[in-house]
Structure 1
Amino acid sequence: MELQPGREAVVRVPVATLWASPDAVRPVDRPALSDAPDVPAWVAGLDHDQQVGDCVLSQLLLGERVLVIELRVDGWAHVVAVEQPAAKLDPRGYPGWLPVAQLAPLRAERQRSPQFVVDAHVADLHFTPGGPPALPGVVLGTRLYRAGPLFDGWLPFHVPGHTEPLWVPETDVVPLPVERPEAKEVLAVADRLRGLPYIWGGHSSHGIDCSGLVHLAWRRFGVTVPRDADDQAEATTPLAPGDERPGDLYFFARPGRRIHHVGIVSAEPHGEQRRMLHACYRQRRVVEEQLPADRLATLVGAHRF
């Protein structure tokens, strides 16, 4: 089976970066473009300004589905990331460009519901239990499809691009919850990413942006939410001032402009004081902090999923 326009495919690498266009990539982005992208090396090579370049739209995790729109002879695929809602851009999902080599055809097992999710910050998938790594760098929130029984503390999973199951320590994965999580559980997952580098469009435990932090934390529990902050605001319920609780969301916008930032409420409000966990553009990392005066001036509301 080959990739074809009009059909779905899946990501076959731990983290695939979704680009604005093939022409938008920079020389510094080379580690993220190969058949086996080295996303940690890519993040480490970005300077302060390159961390926020708008050439990156989002990132997709191993096994994530895309609708293939176009396959170019130069090795690029125009796709729609159907598991990342972006209503204002495309009702089908988030549109962008990926290297064709980072995709694989959709196999039958991918059409079933995933059973497990990676809970470790980063996990390696192995050829055999305890054997050499076959696919290093699989990240938190990656959904996996079990391929057999537990063996000596290892679980086998179907993995795109591999004909035989790959193995992961059972301590690195958890069953996907059946029930919707409480907001404080989602906050606890996001809090584990504190200190992570801020990367515009980032959506992994190697680097992340503000709405990516919200999306990934909910994804860990099998819940799909919109990818961008303004869409997240429209998909949530506004709260009366002071009614927000840990795990709710704060949204920010300048007068007359659309929402540009989101953070996760990290403590109950006290008077005018507000605290949140967020991927901070200014500090270029995920932080938990009290909202300073200039941030409070652009706070437009608290919402709840």
Structure 2
Amino acid sequence: MSDPRLTPDPALVTTRRAAQIGVPVADLCRRPHGPRDRQVLFGETVTVLNEASGWAYVQAEKDGYCGHVSQSSLTVPRVATHRVSVPATHVYANADLKTPDLLSLSYGAPVTVTTQTKDFAETAQGHIPRVHLAPIDQIEDDPAKIADLFLGTPYLWGGNSRWGIDCSGLVQAAMLSCGIPCPGDSDQQEATVGKPVSGDYQRNDLLFWKGHVALVVDAETMIHASAHKMAVSYEPIKDAIKRIEAGGDGQVTAHRRPELP
């Protein structure tokens, strides 16, 4: 049986065109007006498969996730040249930090830079500080370092941005930044990211529980987005294992090691 998260519903597919997310973050919903499954960021590309009553049925390019977004969140696609490389940034009206901020963008958001000055990069949306951007093809080499950028971010079920993120959203952001293909949900990640290992924990290993995932920082510590702290936080691995089992969510179901570039 196909996974509806990754396989478009044939009954809904009436068209196929490329589009981009034109708002800071858009909810990817299970159905129109339905619950949020995941989110897509400004500048990310989607394939529009159906449009009706103000909603678009789309498939995200970054991970193949299918769902419904508001039609008003879509815009004409542009070729991205850079991505936001800090937790969040502002887009200013002019190349001057004292001018009005027009838009806020989260880590990883792709942007199209048209010109650059000493301190700012100009886009169709406005001006972004150059120090907040990296070339779109720049690959990072340490997922745990990327996860640390989200430290303190509020927990949000299905969240994928600096404004709110969940456990699998945090892992996906970290992995994709390092050139490691990574689906959106923790069960998908447990099935596909890295290889099963046992024994000592190493930096950037992944630990899975039923419905949860954490990223190992060192032999004794992990970072994760959890409802326990309602934020991205560090936690001793041994403490987390005991706490999660005591709370009724069982033991670790998998220990996997991603292959870094």
Does the pair score TM above 0.5?
A: yes
Normalising by the smaller structure, the TM-score range is: 0.7 to 0.9
Q: Deviations over 1:226-256 (max 9, x none)?
A: 1111111222233432243111111113xxx
1:78 aligns with 2:57: yes
Structure-1 separation of matches of 2:188 and 2:242: 25
1:7 aligns with 2:17: yes
Give the deviation of 1:66 after TM superposition: 1.1
Which residue of 2 is the match for residue 257 of structure 1?
A: none
Q: 2:224 is matched with which residue: 278, 289, 295?
A: 278
Structure-2 separation of matches of 1:292 and 1:234: 20
Tell me if structure 1 keeps the 8 A contact 2:152–2:232.
yes
Which residue of 1 is the match for residue 49 of structure 2?
A: 69
TM-score by length of 2: 0.82
Q: Deviations over 1:262-290 (max 9, x none)?
A: 1001211xxxxx53111112332212112
Give the deviation of 1:221 after TM superposition: 4.3
Structure-2 separation of matches of 1:118 and 1:213: 16
SS at match of 2:228: coil
Specify whether residues 82 and 251 from structure 1 end up closer, same or farther in structure 2 by C-alpha distance, changes over 3 A only.
same
Structure-2 separation of matches of 1:237 and 1:217: 14
Q: Which has the higher strand share?
A: 2
Which residue of 1 is the match for residue 38 of structure 2?
A: 58
Equivalenced residue count is: 237
Specify whether residues 115 and 242 from structure 1 end up closer, same or farther in structure 2 by C-alpha distance, changes over 3 A only.
farther
Structure-2 separation of matches of 1:224 and 1:301: 18
Q: Deviations over 1:140-199 (max 9, x none)?
A: 111223312x31311123x4xx5xxx32111111224545x33xx220121121221111
1:108-257 pair list within 5 angstroms:
109-110=78-79, 114-130=80-96, 132-133=99-100, 135-148=102-115, 150-157=116-123, 159=124, 166-176=126-136, 178-179=138-139, 181-182=140-141, 185-221=142-178, 223-253=180-210
TM-score by length of 1: 0.71
Tell me if structure 1 keeps the 8 A contact 2:120–2:127.
yes
Give the deviation of 1:218 after TM superposition: 2.7
Which piece of structure 1 moves more, 122-131 or 282-291?
A: 122-131
Tell me if structure 2 keeps the 8 A contact 1:244–1:303.
no
Letter paired with 1:116? H
In structure 1, runs of 5+ residues without a counterpart are 25-54, 85-92, 254-259, 269-273
In structure 2, runs of 5+ residues without a counterpart are 1-13
Structure-1 separation of matches of 2:196 and 2:168: 19
Give the deviation of 1:223 after TM superposition: 4.7
Tell me if structure 2 keeps the 8 A contact 1:124–1:133.
no
Q: Which has the higher contact order (CA 8 A, sep 6+)?
A: 1
SS at match of 2:253: strand
